[in-house]
Amino acid sequence: MNVTGYVDELRQPRIKLTVKGNRKAIGIEPVVDTGFDGYLSLPVAVAIPLGLELKGRVPVELADGSMKNELTFRGTVIWQGHEYQIEIFLTESKEALVGSGLMQGQELTISYGKRSVTIAPDIIPASGKRKKRKLKK
């Protein structure tokens, strides 16, 4: 099952995703950010009502090269028809981001002409090997 989305008016690729916490689930349209190696980053204002479970702190490198300790939370996403528990970062930004951690083992296609985004399971050659995804059902 493919994950689909669109290219917005600012030329940012977005997908549709459902994220769940202990209190509720919501639909979001995060920006696809291949430079972010985590799973998902949510604005604080979006994350708080979900009731996400605090997981811990991790050091992260920011785009400017500086390091910062960030709180991480555990939540659930519905990805290609299945529920997975993932690590979620919170951000002061207004944008949710989906990172390459969630897209591991996937093929990302962005068509700026058609303004479409598709994420599909990779087709691995018979001789190829794939790393197992670290997502937990």
Q: How far apart are CA 7 and CA 5, in angstroms?
A: 7
Residue ranges per structural domain of the chain: 9-104
| Type of residue found at 75 | G
Q: Is the pTM of this model over 0.85?
A: no
Range with the lowest mean pLDDT among 29-33, 43-47, 132-136?
Answer: 132-136
Fold of 9-104: Cathepsin D, subunit A; domain 1 (2.40.70)
Q: How far apart are CA 134 and CA 6, in angstroms?
A: 26
User: So what's the pLDDT on residue 71?
Assistant: 84
Q: How far apart are CA 35 and CA 27, in angstroms?
A: 23
pLDDT tens-digit readout, 73-99: 999 999 988 999 999 999 888 999 999
Tell me the percentage of the chain whose pLDDT exceeds 70: 89
